[in-house]
Structure 1
Amino acid sequence: MKFSYRYLMSGALLLSCLFSISVSAVPLTLPQALALAEQYSPALKVANAQAANADAALDTARAFPNPDIEFGTGNSHLLPAQRGHNSALTIAQPVEFSGLRNSRRQAAEAGVMSSVAQRDEARINLYAQVKQAFFEVLRRQDEAQLANENHALLLQISNRVKLRVEVGESPRYEQVKSDAEAMTAENAARSAEIRVSQAKDRLRALLGAPLADNFEIIHDIQMVADLPELSRLRSELLAYQPVLKIADAETRRAEAKLELERSLRIPQPTLKWSAERHPDVNLWRVSVAMPLPLWNQRAGQVGEAYANRERALADQDRIRFALLGELDQAYGRYQIARRQMSVFETGLMREAESALKVAEAAYRYGERGILDYLDAQRVFRSTRMDYLNARYELQFALIDIERLRATAGENK
């Protein structure tokens, strides 16, 4: 029995190891990351629950009030000869006027519209956050690759300088300088690897999905940098942005609640039917009960609803201007990043690489010192890093514009 149990546990451990290896060996793509976020994200679950809550509130608003029924019995002692039991039955039905019911229903319908728009907003924001975190991991990986390449190159330079110092072709301070540059590059490479791990941790936390600790990501989708004119982007924002739909729905709900409070100023009647049975007589009656608005005419409730309506209107304008301003800023960052990439791709990268080759050749032939060569290497490294930053700044600007255009879900 112990022998079979030991083999069973060994087999289970082997299967788990193979499964973990297969999971970690499969790179994560952007569509897969979005699918995982759609499945596991708590934000979407909260938005779906809010939408279900709004649907239930609409059912509540459409419901009619229930009638009240009252029954009582007792003994009658009118005269010594007229003793016996008595009983009474009363049925009351509250009646709501159509204006009150319509206002309550319209407020609930506006709540449903708001919850649907909130769900769309949550999905669009989630997609944008996942894309930003995904590209942040790619950015950190590219930075780590550049740092490792720079470290390897500086190690080669340091070894070459060391050899030249040993044969007496270069002074010793060149070896000290090259060793210091190599140590700095090693520190930068290690820091870049740590930033890769931190970016992956942020992506894993955002997805909320069970991912391996050593998961890898790849990106095989070409980054599209062409956008329409800013005026068209503004039109799309005003037409499709869920935040504006939420503000519009909240304004409608505030207006419906204002009409609801005004309708409640009119007393709502209650129809009653009652029957009484006594030893000597049977009674029945039909009556109407209605509250009298003498002391409370709902002036405070109406004033509060009016203030909420005005606040919703002002908030709607504030949100619209804020979103348009955010779009203008994102479009400006997009233009700056495109201009920077154009400068890098049309000549700056080639010039920096050519300057490095010239400095390297001059150092080999003894025309320049190690300091000039290291300076050229530093300029080339800085140029490559600036080009990398411009590429990802362009992508981040595109993601922000995509979110503001409310098209993040379409490009899933």
Structure 2
Amino acid sequence: MHRIIAAVLAAGACASSAHAQTSPPTGTAPVLSLNDALARAGATPPAQEAAAAAIRAAEAQRRVANLRPNPSIVAETENVAGSGIYQGLRSSETTVGLALPLELGGKRGARVAVASAQLSRVALDAEIARADLRLRVTQAYNEASAAERRLVIARSQVGIAAEALRAAQVRVRAGRASPLEEQRADVARIAAEGAAERAARSAEVASGNLARLLSTPVIALDMNWFDRVEGGGPPRPITGGSTLAAAAARADLSTASAQIRLARSQRVPDVTVSASARRLEQTNDVAAVFGVSIPLAVFNRGRAAMAVSTAQRDQADALRRVALLNAEQAIAQAQAEAANAATTARNASGPALAAAQEAARIARIGYREGKFGQLDLLDAERTLSDTRAAAIDALAAYHDAQARLERLTTPAPTVTEDNR
């Protein structure tokens, strides 16, 4: 192996960049880009349908909160089925009227405020569902691309192993090598074929998962996207307060604050007024009856409900601060992981891969010409295979880190009255 490395250095290898690794053959199949996949996934996924239904339910709940209490029909008959002059219905008094509850203390406005806060939270949940869907699609696309690239590499390794077996057979027949070399090359070929079968199954599963997520068949992927690594540089400053997680915590705090207003309004007792007409059976006269009903806050003054709402608001405020801190920490961690993955991907796909390719090329030529032994060839091929696998893993890790960072930094929508 040292002779191969020396030959590589002497030949001035490392000619081109990593993207010179084996690429899938181009065909006429339509290429599904990541943007196309995101657009297809956002059409009618079950998660989006659930979010839309939740918004409709919250809007209906707000309309319910804005309704006034229904009036009641009051009907009663007095002085019946008694004794003396009250026998039968001769002295009965029948009263029929309406009773109307009057909400005091701003209860209806407080209910509407709670329902509006809950609607804003549900609308934010829909945005979170969309961001989560983008993350799932991007990760599935990345996994399918990496699996496809691994399959291409595995199939190329089968061809390389078959060529090495033919070279070993030629050397053995010519009497320049031991039959052990042919057996060793055949074992390497069998191992390469097994690896190709496993890679094919993995690629089929990854492609199937993406197709199920998109509800459409996946034929070809944009491998240029998989090979692309953005240029390095300092991470752009992102505040945790603009993220979806922080916005959700603020929405929960708004709902808890509205619950305090509702609990305070419920401490004010409602008044029920009634207006009725009474008919006196004995004289056949009719009279008007007016009434007012006011509950007495003797046992339940609403203080316990206020204490519960206040504690829940304090909890929501503490959770808001925790969510902001967690969001900023997660963003910083994701930015570091994305930057590290980008560096690893550039290094693994650049000089290291070019050197491994050149070393394997020289080892193949040298083995055919009898200058290098079979162990040198196998070592060079193994190094190339490991380097290619490391490059694919690094690219997959980079795109996964970028997807997670994009999910964390998805900006929260601006809530306006029109949105409400």
Displacement of 1:195 in angstroms is 0.4
Note the C-alpha offset of 1:79.
7.3
Aligned to 1:300: 304
Distance 2:189 2:276 in 1: 99
Percent identity over the alignment? 26
Given that 2:244 and 2:411 are in contact with CA atoms closer than 8 Å, whether structure 1 keeps it comes out as no
**Equivalent residue, structure 1, for 2:264:** 262
Change (3 A) 1:314 1:396: same
Q: Secondary structure at the match of 1:39?
A: coil
**TM-score (norm: length of structure 2):** 0.82
Question: Aligned partners of 1:376 and 1:159: how far apart in 2?
Answer: 17
Give the C-alpha shift of residue 227 in structure 1: 7.7
Name the counterpart of 1:289. Answer: 293
CA drift at 1:44 = 0.6
Cα distance in 2 for partners of 1:46, 1:325 equals 30
2:158 is aligned to 151
Quote the Cα distance in structure 2 between the aligned partners of 1:388 and 1:220.
11
Contact 2:275 2:289 (8 Å CA) reproduced: yes
Alignment partner of 1:184 out of 175, 181, 191: 191
- Distance in 2 separating the partners of 1:230 and 1:344: 22
Q: Which moved more, 1:323-332 or 1:338-347?
A: 338-347
Aligned position for 2:169: 162
- Residues 117-165 of structure 1: per-residue CA shift (max 9 Å, x gap): 1111101110111111012111100000000001111111011101211
TM-score with structure 1 length normalisation? 0.84
C-alpha distance in structure 2 between counterparts of 1:324 and 1:74, whole Å: 72
- Separation in structure 1 between the aligned mates of residue 142 and residue 399 of structure 2, nearest angstrom: 8
Q: How does 1:82-101 map to 2 (within 5 A)?
A: 83=90, 86-101=93-108
Aligned with 1:364 (options 365, 368, 381) = 368
RMSD over aligned Cα, in angstroms?
2.7
* C-alpha spacing 1:231/1:344, structure 2 compared with 1 (3 Å): closer
CA-to-partner distance for each residue in 1:55-79, whole Å, 9 max, x for gaps?
1111111111111122345886847
Corresponding residue for 1:15? none
| Contact 2:105–2:268, Cα closer than 8 Å, also in 1 | no
1:205, 1:286 → 2: CA distance? Answer: 68
* Native 8 Å contact 1:86 1:276 kept in 2: yes
Letter of the aligned partner of 1:314 in structure 2? A
Question: Would the aligned equivalents of 1:88 and 1:274 in 2 still touch at CA under 8 Å?
Answer: yes
**SS state at 2:289 partner:** strand
Partner of 1:225: 230
| Letter paired with 1:265 | R
- 1:311 positional shift: 2.2
1:116 equivalent among 99, 108, 123: 123
Q: Which of 338, 359, 370 is residue 355 of structure 1 equivalent to?
A: 359
- For 1:250 and 1:55, how far apart are their aligned partners in 2? 17
Is the Cα–Cα contact under 8 Å of residues 277 and 287 in structure 2 kept in the other structure? yes
Rate the CA distance shift 1:300–1:231 in 2: closer, same or farther, 3 A. Answer: farther
Distance (whole Å) between structure 1 residues aligned to residue 302 and residue 412 of structure 2: 46
Distance of 1:168 and 1:206 partners within structure 2 = 57
Q: Is the 8 A contact 2:105 2:265 kept in 1?
A: no
Measure, in 2, the Cα distance between the counterparts of 1:360 and 1:227. Answer: 36
1:337 to 336, 341, 346: 341
Q: Which moved more, 1:385-394 or 1:182-191?
A: 385-394
In the aligned structure 2, how far is the partner of 1:59 from the partner of 1:187?
Answer: 63
Does structure 2 retain, via aligned residues, the 8 Å contact 1:274–1:285?
yes
Q: CA deviation at 1:346?
A: 4.7
The unaligned stretches of length 5 or more in structure 1 are 1-23
1:217/1:253 CA distance change after superposition, 3 Å: same
- Is the 1:114–1:249 contact (alpha carbons within 8 Å) kept by the matching residues of 2? yes
The Cα offsets for residues 355-387 of structure 1, whole Å up to 9 and x where unpaired, read as 223323332332321011110111111112211
| Amino acid in the other structure paired with 1:273 | A
Structure 2 contact 99–274 (Cα < 8 Å) conserved: yes
* Residue type at the aligned position of 2:380: A
Cα distance in 1 for partners of 2:100, 2:86 equals 36
Q: Which amino acid aligns with 1:105?
A: V
Q: Partner amino acid for 2:121?
A: S
C-alpha change, 1:238 and 1:407, in structure 2 (3 Å) is closer
Instruction: Tell me which protein shows more helix as a share of its residues.
Output: 1
**1:13-412 → structure 2 map (5 Å cutoff):** 26-72=30-76, 78=85, 83=90, 86-207=93-214, 209=215, 211-212=216-217, 215-219=218-222, 222=225, 223=228, 225-226=230-231, 229-230=234-235, 232=237, 234-235=238-239, 237-239=240-242, 241-279=243-281, 280=283, 281-406=285-410
Task: Give the deviation of 1:252 after TM superposition.
Answer: 0.8
Higher RCO (C-alpha under 8 Å, 6+ residues apart):
2
